[in-house]
Amino acid sequence: MFAPPGALRRWVCVCAFGFMSTGVAAEPRTFYVEDIKSAMDSHIAASVDEEGIFHLRDDRTGEMLALRFVKIHDPVRRIDADTYFACTDFSVQKDEDQLYDIDFWLRPENGVLVVYDTKVHKEPRRSLLYGWYKQPRYTFVDDKVVELY
């Protein structure tokens, strides 16, 4: 087989450059709003049962909750270089007027965002005057959870 003069040398240079370039560390990926929401959609879809129910153990009471996904709140956001955050609404399976506000923390793993922590932020409470509302359990101060009670 005959190669034109210099072809082998160009091929070797291209291969050597390719090998050299793989040794350079890649910049950490920045995830955007669409990435966070997509990761949340995937997490929820993978977590619901065949009837579309999201089962979650209440991190405070230990009660198993049977919930239906309602929506992801805006804004979702980046907290720091390795932490992303999404807030959601889920309704009680048997009463869509009772809403839980569930918070999710995500981090990058192998180039994708995955949920690593979940907390009930607000629980449904009933008022005689106003009906069902969401009672907060905690607030945020400098992106840190501060318990209210």
Residue-range domains of the chain with CATH:
29-147 (3.10.450)
Q: What is the pLDDT of residue 149?
A: 85
pLDDT digits (tens, 9 = 90+) for 76-95: 999 998 999 999 999 999 99
Cβ proximity of 38 and 76 under 8 Å: no
Q: What is the pLDDT of residue 64?
A: 97
Arithmetic mean of pLDDT over the chain: 87
Q: How many CB atoms lie within 10 A of CB 110?
A: 5
Strands (E), 11-143: 54-57, 64-72, 77-80, 83-92, 95-109, 112-127, 131-136, 138-141
Cβ proximity of 113 and 123 under 8 Å: no
- Helix or strand or coil: residue 18? helix
Global pTM? 0.79
